[in-house]
Structure 1
Amino acid sequence: MHERLRPVASRFVYPLFCVRVDLDRLDDAGNRWFGIDCRRPLSLRLCDYGPRDGSPLAPWLRALLADAGLPADGAIWLQTIPRLFGHAFNPVSFWFCHDRAGALRAVLAEVNNTFGESHRYLLAAPGAGAIGADTMLSSRKVFHVSPFLGVEGCYAFRFRETATTSFVGIDHHDRAGVVLRTSIGGRLAPLTAARARRLVLCSPFNALAVLARIHWQALRLWWRRVPFHRKPAPPQAALSRSEEAQP
């Protein structure tokens, strides 16, 4: 869901599916319809994430967490839009980082724009405490995503999860308050071969549809004369920390 509040109101909701994989158990994640670094109708390629060199992702992220003083001894799950017949576009992927007891202690939001650039926001609660349903995490916006929003203000993140559902909310705040609300929510289910086959047959343009809808909404905003922002140079640092800003 995307909801723009000003200078014109615009809201749209569309269906989407993501996959979530345990980075320590990638060898167990595959079936006839889904695989890691192999040819399947649905797939993930390690070179699309993190250091983008195809190297194992779990050691890379645990080193990043340790460098930030965050627990790095629990499960790490990557939630992302899979490649569909080799094609994908991920506006944002989330890495859910837990401690040994199973508590969520950090989230890495890896954001991609349509210009082939990416940036990572490392989110943690004050004092590196556990992240719960009522925890608000924020980080200053430093990365260009939409030409109809300036690189200013901050993002406010919320993560809520039950045994069967997942929800991520992201609000963009500028000087005047909330300007954009976005969310990704859905039901959690095991990615069996049968379910993967059904997803491929029922949503054959999953990732490409995301890209098409982004450009369609951009055209509508341009037609309604929403101010246009030229793309600035990407930030020098590839990583931002959540302590940098509060909404």
Structure 2
Amino acid sequence: MMSRSALYSGQVCHVRFRPRRHRLSYRVFSLLLDLDELAWLDSKLRLFGHNRFALFSFRDSDHGNGEVGALRSWVERQLSEAGVDVKQMRIRVLCYPRILGYVFNPLTVFYCEASDGQVRAVLYEVCNTFHERHTYVIPVSDDEGGAIRQSCVKELYVSPFVPMDCRYEFNLRPPGETVFVGITENDCDGRLLTAVFSGEREEISDKRLFLTFLKHPMMTVKVMGAIHWEALKIWLKGMPVHRHRPADLRVATTIVSRFEQKDTLA
């Protein structure tokens, strides 16, 4: 069986432009997991587990509404509400895996692809350090040379140094030999910051997972550590602080219409 799942090793970079410039760059990796292959990967690989402990694992409870065994059906419900045909839909998830049981995913991307391979919708699942999760469900209105450009209003508090009154602009290239996820966050004065993940594809195997672990030991713990370390550096630069106001719902979803996309990106 030729796997549609893969491993992407690369780099995440953030640049903040105002009121003080701040840049960070870290070597990371992500897994791209086809939801229909999870059971097969769980049985084939010794170092990967689905809904169980392993060196690397993926748990349904970390995503969607948290219901174990129902992640695909949850995604399909969101797509149906957004007016997207879910027949023969392939759903692939780009995220950090749990490593020895621990993970924090600031952003998980769900690529929802029709049988012809074209991405028909993207789900952007954003998590913050207050254990709140918000998913933006955005149909793909066009495909210009494989690039996907989308936008939505920010609905979830993420950083104490970024106001809530912002918009996200997403710039994606669907996973192939490489993957690219770019996000620009704009406030009322224009571009505030950009964040980019780019990586190169590798096949998932026990050997590759073991070598990746040696190269990135406890990467998910380091992700959380880096968030707080960079926050300290930003605070020391005198950035204004925006206090957290708890979300109305700990887990929420926003359906972004095609009309709003056309109006926003025109």
TM tier relative to shorter chain: over 0.9
Q: Is 1:200 aligned to 2:223, yes or no?
A: no
Q: CA deviation at 1:134?
A: 3.6
Q: 1:100 aligns with which of 101, 108, 115?
A: 115
SS at match of 2:120: strand
Q: CA deviation at 1:241?
A: 2.9
Deviation by residue 1:165-192 (Cα, 9 ceiling, x = unmatched)? 0000000011111101001110111111
Q: CA deviation at 1:91?
A: 0.5
Corresponding residue of 1:66:
80
The number of residue pairs the alignment matches comes to 245
Corresponding residue of 2:185:
172
Aligned-residue identity in percent: 32
Corresponding residue of 1:214:
227
Structure 1 CA distance, aligned partners of 2:119 and 2:167?
22
SS at match of 2:38: helix
Q: CA deviation at 1:98?
A: 0.7
Q: 1:48 aligns with which of 62, 70, 76?
A: 62
Q: Which amino acid aligns with 1:196?
A: L
What's the TM-score once normalised by structure 2's chain length? 0.87
Q: 1:155 aligns with which of 163, 168, 180?
A: 168
Corresponding residue of 1:80:
95
Corresponding residue of 2:23:
11
Structure 2 CA distance, aligned partners of 1:120 and 1:25?
23
Closer, same or farther: CA 144–131 of 1 in aligned 2, 3 Å: farther
Corresponding residue of 1:22:
34
Corresponding residue of 1:191:
204
| Ranges of 4+ aligned residues in structure 1 off by more than 2 Å | 129-135, 241-247
Structure 2 CA distance, aligned partners of 1:66 and 1:162?
23
Across the aligned residues of Structure 1 and Structure 2, the Cα RMSD in angstroms comes to 1.7
Q: CA deviation at 1:163?
A: 3.1
2:81/2:255 contact within 8 Å kept = no
Deviation by residue 1:171-220 (Cα, 9 ceiling, x = unmatched)? 00111111010011101111111000111122112111111111011101
Corresponding residue of 1:241:
255
Q: How does 1:138-153 map to 2 (within 5 A)?
A: 138-153=151-166
Q: Is 1:2 aligned to 2:17, yes or no?
A: no
Deviation by residue 1:212-232 (Cα, 9 ceiling, x = unmatched)? 111011101111110000012
2:148/2:171 contact within 8 Å kept = yes
Structure 1 CA distance, aligned partners of 2:198 and 2:247?
29
Q: CA deviation at 1:103?
A: 0.5
Which consecutive residues of structure 1, in runs of 5 or more, have no partner in the other structure? none
Closer, same or farther: CA 42–135 of 1 in aligned 2, 3 Å: closer
